[in-house]
Structure 1
Amino acid sequence: MGNEHRLLTLVVCLVLGGGLLAAVLGASRAAGSRAHTSAGSGAAVEYVDIRDVPPGPAEPRPAGPDASTGTVTVECGRNEEGHYNEDNLVVSPGLTAGAHHTHAYVGNLSTTALSTDATLAAAPTSCRGGDRSTYYWPVLRRTDRAGGGAHESSAGHGNAGAILAEEAVGVEFRGNPVGKVVPMPRFLRGMTGDAVAFTAASDADVRARWGCSGSPGRSTTRYPRCPAGERVTRTLVFPSCWNGLDTQSAGHRSHLAFPAANGVCPTGTFPVPELRLSLAYEVPPEVPLALDSFPEQRHSAKTDHAMFVNAMTDRQMQGVVDCLNEGRHCRI
């Protein structure tokens, strides 16, 4: 009887010990996973190896004789001028530091929250062809280094770290795969992406895509880990169906809409040139990243967004439209 009791005690101890060990190992793995996804910037910062991301669907092919198949590249540099501020002319005009995070710019060199159509039209620009439009987006930071520049510590609201300068900035307009485009009105305001996507009820307005320069067919809404020698990329495509009436609207979205997957614009809207911003960064291996965001958005890559104000002259915009509709590939 004593031997049986001792044997039973031994079995119970082994079972309990095994369960405890499994719990400890499981907690250890979970902690390691959280440390990987939240390095330096809160649990919303998630990384994915771009090689684990499946290729995305192909873009719609031009269909029919009315497709506008051209492209226009606007050469505006990569913010060599160091144009940064915490303003947002599209979303919070007139409110200095209203963005609560730092934006980087190309194009119009005067843009602040206090800009007007008249000041934009008269300002210098970084674009070689004289386009005075303003194109801007939240900065990307590496959180393993403290920022020392004028706009690396002024944003506050949990946005900290050294700003990663863009190695390349692409400003490109494309046509519509099923029809001709019409000119954008001067001083049209536009935005893409969702700055509050982390706490939003759905991902309906999440548009920005992250990727790696060597994998153009793969994109993600998380921070990508790229193979050695490749750049981290951000691609921000703007809505290109205009209601024909307004240059701005409540919520900054209803006057512009995205076409359907086949390129067809919603009823009551007209296709205008599709703006694409392409950003590229040199990021050392395993460096922790954080997009500037509102505090409650916790630097989630899903909150990436961008804005623009079209300040091209009517003649410049007509040149863009002609190039797209005639199927040419132009640089201005």
Structure 2
Amino acid sequence: MGNERRLLALVICLVLGGGLLAAVLGASRASAPQPGHGSAGPAPADYVDIGDVSPSPGPGPAPGPDGSAGSVTVECGRNGEGHYNEDNLVVSPGLRAGAHHTHAYVGNLSADAMSTDASLDAAATSCRGGDRSTYYWPVLRRTDRPGTRPFETSAGHGNAGAVLPEASVRVEFRGNPVSKVVPMPRFLRGMTGDAAAFTAGAGADVRARWGCSGSPDRSTTRYPRCPAGDLVTRTLAFPSCWNGLDTAGAGAGHRSHLLFPGAGGICPQGTFPVPELRLTLAYEVPAGAPIALDSFPEQRHSPRTDHAMFVNAMTDGQMAGVVDCLNTGRDCRT
């Protein structure tokens, strides 16, 4: 009888132990990156040798007599303050970590999901001339090196690796080739690119162009393989035709209020040309090093998902200066 009880107890222990092991393994699998959800990508096809990219067509149409041929460069540094978070004030205001990936910033030093027009207006800025606007974009990482700093490990969702600091950040406003521009309203929200381009399967909103500093006439929507000594570049141009009605747009797309001009720079009917914001980012990437853009897990770090956002917090006087410089055809720096 004693032997039978001992045997029964052994069987129960084995069953319970097996169940516990299965539960632990199941939990481990659930918490680990799953294929196609963050651990996947970029794919080999996401990279291209810059020498295999055809030269781009020449610059756009030359400004006409009624155009605005100037440019304004706003000196905002290159995020030396280490301003990073997983928020997106333009797309998901009020929602902490709403981006599910990490953004880098220049300009307004307080910008996060909880920012308001009033808090932006009262904050410090990295911009030399006092522009309190916020300009931000997803970080670029080296996936062959682990991220160890808090801002490198906080995003999760398959976004891993050492964040590459920007070697340079150029914030530039340009005019319109066929028309004078009008001032942007204060606290206008804008975005460019499509963070869901990989799963959307369409390219209408894919705007970012990648390149190498030594080949300025070549650009691509893929990660470029650059010659040794070249910088990897990202150029993100924003829509510049405002509907004159609202500052944030309607619906989930956040695009209805600010559209891209059509062929030749002509704005769609019912919109007015405002200064065109262009962000140009550059990175030191050793030849052959694997890079990946932070993204939503299902987007697999596709370079086509590159995007950027901004909120215009210039004073009316600062914006008037930008408009005057553009409309009089001057090249200015603030």
Q: TM-score, normalised by structure 2?
A: 0.86
The superposition leaves residues 278-303 of structure 1 with CA deviations (integer Å, 9 ceiling, x where unpaired) of 00000001111110000000000000
**Contact 1:45/1:300, CA 8 A, preserved across alignment:** no
Residue number in structure 1 paired with 2:310: 308
State the alpha-carbon separation in 2 of the partners of residues 63 and 207 from structure 1: 22
1:51 maps to 51
Q: Counterpart of 2:109?
A: 109
Residues 82, 45 of structure 1: CA spacing in aligned structure 2 closer, same or farther, 3 A cutoff?
Answer: farther
Report what 1:95 is aligned to.
Answer: 95
Match of 1:290 in 2: 292
TM norm structure 1? 0.87
1:153 CA drift (Å): 0.5
Gaps of at least 5 residues in structure 2 are 1-38
Could you tell me whether the CA contact under 8 Å between 1:188 and 1:309 is conserved in 2? Answer: yes
* 8 Å Cα contact 2:42/2:292 also seen in 1: no
2:280 to 268, 278, 281: 278
- 2:193 maps to 193
Aligned match of 1:232: 232
Aligned 8 A contact 2:108 2:124 in 1: yes
What corresponds to 2:159 in structure 1?
Answer: 159
The alpha-carbon deviation at position 42 of structure 1 amounts to: 4.2
**1:323 alignment partner AA:** C
Q: In structure 1, how many angstroms separate the alpha carbons of the residues matched to 2:237 and 2:139?
A: 17
Question: Residue in 1 aligned with 2:124?
Answer: 124
Question: Deviation of residue 55 (structure 1)?
Answer: 1.1
Please state whether the residue corresponding to 2:118 is helix, strand or coil.
Answer: helix
* Distance in 2, Cα, partners of 1:45 & 1:79: 31
Give, in whole Å, the separation in 2 of the partners of 1:279 and 1:42: 20
Q: 1:30 maps to which residue?
A: none
Q: Across the two proteins, how many residue pairs are aligned to each other?
A: 294
Measure, in 2, the Cα distance between the counterparts of 1:244 and 1:223: 36
In the other structure, the counterpart of 2:259 is: 257
Matching residue's letter, 1:288 = P
Structure 2: how far apart are the matches of 1:277 and 1:63? 21
Cα distance change of structure 1 residues 44 and 199 upon mapping to structure 2, 3 Å threshold = farther
Query: Could you report, residue by residue, the CA deviation over 1:94-140 in whole angstroms, capped at 9, with x for unpaired residues?
Result: 00000000000000000000000000000000000000000000000
Name the CA distance, whole Å, in 2 between partners of 1:318 and 1:82. Answer: 30
Cα root mean square deviation, aligned: 1.2
* The one of 254, 267, 270 aligned to 1:268: 270
SS at match of 1:280: strand
Provide the rounded CA distance (Å) in 1 between the counterparts of 2:261 and 2:109: 31
Q: What's the offset of the Cα at 1:330?
A: 0.4
Q: Secondary structure at the match of 1:323?
A: helix
1:167-193, Cα deviation, whole Å (9 max, x unpaired): 000000000011100000000000000
The residue that corresponds to 2:219 in the other structure is: 219
Partners of 1:40 and 1:144 within 8 A in 2: no
**Residue 147 of structure 1: aligned partner:** 147
Alignment counterpart, residue 330 of structure 1, candidates 304, 318, 332: 332
Give the deviation of 1:142 after TM superposition: 0.2
Shift of the 171–42 alpha-carbon distance from structure 1 to 2, 3 Å rule, reads closer
> What one-letter code is carried by the residue in structure 1 that aligns with 2:100?
H
State the Cα distance separating 1:150 from its structure 2 match.
1.1
Matches within 5 A, 1:32-43: 41-43=41-43
Q: Does 1:202 align with 2:205?
A: no
Partner amino acid for 2:280?
A: S
Ranges in structure 1 where 5+ consecutive residues have no aligned partner: 1-38
Structure 1 residues 295 and 44: alpha-carbon distance in aligned structure 2, compared to 1, 3 A threshold:
farther
- Percent of residue pairs bearing the same amino acid type: 77
8 Å CA contact 2:47, 2:224 repeated in 1: yes
1 CA distance for matches of 2:73 and 2:291?
Answer: 29
Letter of the structure 2 residue corresponding to residue 54 of structure 1 = S
Distance 2:207 2:325 in 1: 26
Q: Does 1:242 align with 2:235?
A: no
